[in-house]
Amino acid sequence: MFVRLATVLCLAVLLPAPSAAQAPLRIDYPDFWPFFTRDEAGEMTGFFHDIVTEALARMGMRATWHAFPWGRCQENVRSGEADAMITVPTAVRLEYSGTHADPFHLKELVVFTRTDHPRRAEVESLASIDDIQAAGFSVVTYVGNGWNEENIRSRGIKTYEVPYLANVWLMLAQGRADIVIEWPGGAWPDITAQGLAQEIVQTGVVLESMPFHLLIGRNSPHADILPRFNKTILAMRLDGTIDRILNTYLDQLRLDQP
């Protein structure tokens, strides 16, 4: 018995402790279909969720997903309560998190306005953010939109913020702002769900393509996985996995548009 106990103790010393990478990566997200949400059965879905989950699985990892308002998600990563979030890298976010070199998705930002806007023709002729500023148009967006903070509010363009993205469409329809700048695929399901499809128009104005990345807090025990994550998403791009996942959702989104 003594020999057996000694052997067990020796093995406990010699064998490595489970690595941090074996623990699940906690990702905080704002509920926003089709990027990430829970279905009626409580299961995670959405193409950001599916892409990141597949990449982590190829790396021998898994994640847990926790929904919060977007501002809280960012604060949780900053404080270390959460490991990661999925968003656009900005100078402020990179002060407390790291990311990988290549985005796994580029999201086009398109200008929306209300159908009966008295200056609709001017809105539809916009070509740049400078034009928005020169025209004196106001923007409504959601709290924690880093792209808007860096590219719109920072130029002195009047900006209104609401806690949840879905609420911006009602603000726009009521004439409380001139435009919304958003991705059409995520916009139309919310617009349609609120019965606003006839009151809001998507213009042909594309201002930018936003690069989406996985951001991991600098103090997270998982911070060192980012180079491997980058290699994995590049492989998924080459083998068609990312396009396959995206197209599954785009097919459904096309059915949601009026």
Task: Render pLDDT for 100-146 as a digit per residue (tens, 0 to 9).
Answer: 999 999 888 999 999 999 999 999 999 999 999 999 999 999 988 88
pLDDT of residue 181 exceeding 90: yes
> Residue 253 — very low, low, confident or very high, per pLDDT cuts 50/70/90?
low
Q: Structural domain tally of the chain?
A: 1
Residue 152 maps to a domain: yes
* Intra-chain end-to-end CA distance of the chain, in Å: 75
What is the spatial distance between Cα 212 and Cα 88, in angstroms, rounded to a whole number?
5
Residue 88 maps to a domain: no
Provide mean pLDDT across the span 171-192. Answer: 90
Q: What is the pLDDT of residue 205?
A: 95
What is the spatial distance between Cα 26 and Cα 135, in angstroms, rounded to a whole number?
43
What is the spatial distance between Cα 172 and Cα 200, in angstroms, rounded to a whole number?
8
Q: What is the pLDDT of residues 43-56, one digit of tens each?
A: 999 999 999 999 99
Burial code (b: 16+ CB inside 10 Å, e: under 16) for 118-145 equals eeeeebeebeebebbeeeebebbbbbbb
Kindly report the CATH number assigned to the domain that includes residue 147.
Answer: 3.40.190.10
Residue 11 maps to a domain: no
pLDDT of residue 17 exceeding 90: no
Residue 48 maps to a domain: no
Residue 80 maps to a domain: no
Residue 224 maps to a domain: no
Give the H/E segment covering residue 28: strand 25-29
Residue 37 maps to a domain: no
Count the alpha carbons within 13 Å of 167 in the hemisphere toward its beta carbon. Answer: 10
Residue 141 lies in domain: 108-209
What is the spatial distance between Cα 202 and Cα 208, in angstroms, rounded to a whole number?
15
Residue 127 maps to a domain: yes
